Each structure stands twice: as C-alpha cells, then as structure tokens.
Chain A
Amino acid sequence: GESVGLHLPTLSVQEGDNSIINCAYSNSASDYFIWYKQESGKGPQFIIDIRSNMDKRQGQRVTVLLNKTVKHLSLQIAATQPGDSAVYFCAEDSRLMEYGNKLVFGAGTILRVKS
C-alpha cells in the first residue's frame, strides 16, 4: 500500500550535536520527497526537498539523503540548536494527480534539543 512511516520516536539530542531523523516509504513510484518542520502552534514549514534522481541534497545546516534501494529517507541537522526543537515530517509525492500534488505524510518525529 501507499504509506510513509515514521516510528513515531522522540529524539533527544544535546545542543551542538548532529541529529538524524529517519523515514521509510513504501511507494516505489514516488519521485519527490520533502521534509517539513512543525513547531507548536504553527503549520508545517518546508525545510528541504529532493527528487528521486538524486541521493543527497544539502541546505543550510540540513542534508537529506535518499536511498531508493531500501526506500529510506533521512534528514541530518548539523550543530542542532534549541530552535530546532519541533516535530519533523517526511512526505512523498505519490504523483496520483495530473495537477497539484498528492503528498503522503509520515506520522512525525519529535526532536528535543537539550541545552
């Protein structure tokens, strides 16, 4: 079936350490993936995306890795800061619509940064 799954974890990291958040997806036809960050009282905020013709993409302090062989996506945050504390979602574009995007979201991972 079509699903994007996170093992609903809470990841606690020390300020300044690197964080790695993982995501497994099951739809091998998906060719576009996005990471979102959601802080309390706010909507999901776009962090970084990656197309399936790439296996790595870097942004400012963030890196997304895509392993299509095992259908795995990860988000790496360098030098984690207290402001990074939030729920992180991965999403895949299942390309079921000619217009618009049908994103399927994972359940989310809570990231807690300890000072």
Chain B
Amino acid sequence: ETGVTQTPRHLVMGMTNKKSLKCEQHLGHNAMYWYKQSAKKPLELMFVYSLEERVENNSVPSRFSPECPNSSHLFLHLHTLQPEDSALYLCASSRGHNNSPLHFGNGTRLTVT
C-alpha cells in the first residue's frame, strides 16, 4: 500500500475515445503530480498541482487535460490520443515543500489503439 491509489490499472482506448485516469492520495500531502513513463525513457513530468492550483505544465499536448478538485484527488482526462501516447501514467504526491520526496502510485498502463 503506497498511500497513492490509481485507477484503472490498465486501460485500452481507441484514438477517438474519451477516458479519465483517477488518482487519490491518503497521505495528507499538498502537491500532486502526473508523470509519463515510456519504455527506455526517463520519467517525464507532465503536470504539477500545489494546493489544488496548477503550478507546472510541462509543454504537454492539449489532448491531456488535468483536473485537481481538491488536495486528495487528481484526474487526467484523455481525448483523441495517439498510439505514441501509450505508456505508464504515474501519479505522485508530496508535502509540496523543497526536500520532500514524491510518493508514487502503481500507475495506469495505457494502450492507445
């Protein structure tokens, strides 16, 4: 149990579908993150929310749309994705101040067909 729960664990979607990834953290943290993990590439930061406000958008295409309704929940809305978007999407949370580690969920394995 990591304290960060992601659903679904696996998702297969067509390029015209709309789906959402969900993340919930039970650690009382103030910051939440979306990372993308592709094969043979380092983890890529996509979005950061601190106190429910987006503080970082790492040049992510608009077909990825994050939502943070409160400090415990984070969503990633997906629409008209491309096959190259297939990857493991990881959610993380942290206390939000410097020198605090991120705690990750187990990810959603996304396959775009």
Minimum CB distance partner of B30 in chain A: A99
Q: How far is A111 from B44 in the complex, measured between Cα atoms in Å?
A: 22
Stretch of B11-19, B59-67, B74-82, B94-102 at the chain-chain interface:
B94-102
Q: Does B48 contact A (CB under 8 A)?
A: yes
Q: How far is A46 from B101 in the complex, measured between Cα atoms in Å?
A: 7
- Is B33 within 8 A of A100, CB to CB? yes
Across-interface contacts of A88 in B (CB, < 8 A): none
Q: How many interface residues does chain B have, given as a range? A: 20 to 34
- Is A102 within 8 A of B107, CB to CB? no
Closest CB of chain A to B32's CB: distance in Å? 9
Q: How far is A31 from B97 in the complex, measured between Cα atoms in Å?
A: 13
Which residues of chain A from 17 to 55 have a CB within 8 Å of any chain B CB?
A: 31-32, 34, 36, 41-46, 49, 51
Minimum CB distance partner of B94 in chain A: A101
Across-interface contacts of B100 in A (CB, < 8 A): 101
For B6-49 the 0/1 string (1 means CB < 8 A from A) is 10000000000000000000000011010000001111010011
Minimum CB distance partner of A36 in chain B: B104
Across-interface contacts of A89 in B (CB, < 8 A): 42-43
Q: How far is A105 from B103 in the complex, measured between Cα atoms in Å?
A: 14
